[in-house]
C-alpha cells in the first residue's frame, strides 16, 4: 500500500465495525430472549455498520489504483 497510514486506519475502522457488530449481536440476543429492542436503534446500528464498511472500502480503494498503476507500468 502506498500510504503508511493506511494499515493503521484500516485497523481502526475494522475495530469500529467489530464494536458495532457486538452491539447488533446484543440487540439480536435481547430479541431472542424475549426482549423488545427498539427497531429504530437497530436500524441506526445497521446504518452505522454500513457506513463504516463503506469507509473501509473507500480507504482501501484509494491505494488500490496507485498499486495497479505501478504493477501495470512495470510490465
Kindly report, residue by residue over 10-69, the tens digit of the pLDDT: 899 999 999 999 999 999 999 999 999 999 999 999 999 999 999 999 988 887 766 666
Is the four-CA dihedral 16, 18, 20, 22 of positive or negative sign?
A: negative
Task: Report the C-alpha gap between 34 and 41 in whole angstroms.
Answer: 17
pTM of the model: 0.73
pLDDT at 1 over 50: no
To which residue does cell 446484543 refer? 26
Amino acid at each position: 500500500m502506498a500510504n503508511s497510514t493506511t494499515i493503521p486506519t484500516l485497523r481502526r475502522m475494522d475495530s469500529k465495525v467489530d464494536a458495532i457488530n457486538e452491539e447488533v449481536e446484543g440487540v439480536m440476543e435481547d430479541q431472542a430472549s424475549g426482549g423488545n429492542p427498539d427497531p429504530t436503534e437497530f436500524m441506526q446500528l445497521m446504518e452505522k455498520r454500513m457506513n463504516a464498511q463503506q469507509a473501509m472500502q473507500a480507504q482501501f480503494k484509494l491505494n488500490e489504483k496507485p498499486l495497479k498503476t505501478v504493477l501495470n507500468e512495470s510490465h
